[in-house]
Structure 1
């Protein structure tokens, strides 16, 4: 039995992996797939891959591209979610902010530098026409830290996946001001160079299994109710999310990778663009 360490955020996007693990699909191929939730998000996952404390990760596209460009010996194995991620922009429910434009020159809560909440704050600021040099951040690690930061006034707004954050809006903790979708497919499957070099056959099995699950995922009877119960979401929200979400079974296109790198360069978040063969498996 080959042990493989995989990491990802504890969100509904990754339920096909848990389903495949629970049904023994990987074990049937001689693979002991050990899943670890990383609620801190992409920045933490990039570090775990860099330190080789994980073999594979389901990770935000822009975050892992930035990390690889900066020397992380990791590659994108394939695209996982082909649709954009809908980043909700939230403030404390008692905040005086009523419009997105009012957030200029305020402090954004981010899980950590290099995370999606950090990078997408730049994307959003660029769209709003703000001076990127004026962006200010407070590192809060995870969703619970964001609640504390916004409640105490240590940060003014927080960007996180719309539907994951929706229960906090429904509970009257956050107020939702708007959304900022990623300009590219949001999640990829990435692996360390060392793991890829030694386990090409194993990666082939893993891809075959997860792609079979994601291809048929939306056709599973009552899958919307299963997801709503597991992730404590309203059924209507899960149904809307499923309509917006498209899983992928192919590699990230080179033109998409180029768009990610060009955007990161434009935002001064990377110093150089590197060739696709250094990023894609």
Structure 2
């Protein structure tokens, strides 16, 4: 049986992986797929792909594009979630900050450099016509728990994270959300290391076929909204809203979309160069 290590964030987007693992669907195809939670998000997963700790990752588009351009020996093999990620912009509940303008020039809490929370701070700054050199400051907080400590202890001023994941912290008075910032591209992709692609293309195809069958029918799974609400400790109405906004993908990201991602990252000076589609994407 072929052992395959895959990483992802422990969030509702990835429930389909849990369901297919629970059903033993990979083992039925002689694949021992091992899921690893990465609470540190994209930056932690790009590092794990580079080191060979994982073979595959379900990862934010902007983070893996940036890291492949910076010589991470991996490729995007498929889009996983087609819709944008809706990033909430959060401050401590007792903070004096009330609007996006108030946080201009203050300290953004980020999980690590190269993470989604880091890169999306640039998108938010651009959307609000800030000076990218003067108005962005960063404090590394590692993960969501670190952000809770960072904001409540005044080590950082604001924090960007997927708004439905952080909604319980808003509801219970730890964070206050002062705005939203949708990613300007499909949010999650599936990436694999070049070494894994080269040596295990058939297994990779099988893994994608299995997960795609589940995501294609995900919304029609009986009581899926209640399952998500219970597993991720979210309000049912929030889960229902999230499901209505989210579309999964079973196809490869096209050249036009990749060009848009690179153009925006390059304009923001997040990447120093743009590369060919084939450098970023592997079509199975």
TM-score tier by shorter-chain length is: over 0.9
After TM superposition, the score normalised by the length of structure 1 is 1.00
Aligned ranges 1:206-221 → 2 under 5 Å: 206-221=207-222
Q: Counterpart in 2 of 1:130?
A: 130
* Superposition deviation, residue 105 in structure 1: 0.5
- Following TM superposition, where does structure 1 have runs of at least 4 consecutive aligned residues deviating by more than 3 angstroms? none
SS at match of 1:45: helix
CA distance in 1, matches of 2:27, 2:50: 27
SS at match of 2:105: coil
After TM superposition, the score normalised by the length of structure 2 is 0.98
Q: Counterpart in 2 of 1:189?
A: 190
* Superposition deviation, residue 252 in structure 1: 0.7
Q: Deviations over 1:87-125 (max 9, x none)?
A: 000000000001111110100000000000000000000
* CA RMSD after TM alignment: 0.4
* Superposition deviation, residue 152 in structure 1: 1.0
Aligned ranges 1:9-158 → 2 under 5 Å: 9-134=9-134, 135-158=136-159
CA distance in 2, matches of 1:104, 1:117: 16
SS at match of 1:189: strand
CA distance in 2, matches of 1:239, 1:169: 18
Structure 2 unmatched ranges of 5 or more? none
Q: Deviations over 1:194-234 (max 9, x none)?
A: 00000010011011100000001100010000000000000
CA distance in 2, matches of 1:198, 1:113: 31
Alignment coverage as a number of residue pairs: 281
Structure 1 unmatched ranges of 5 or more? none
Aligned ranges 1:260-275 → 2 under 5 Å: 260-275=261-276
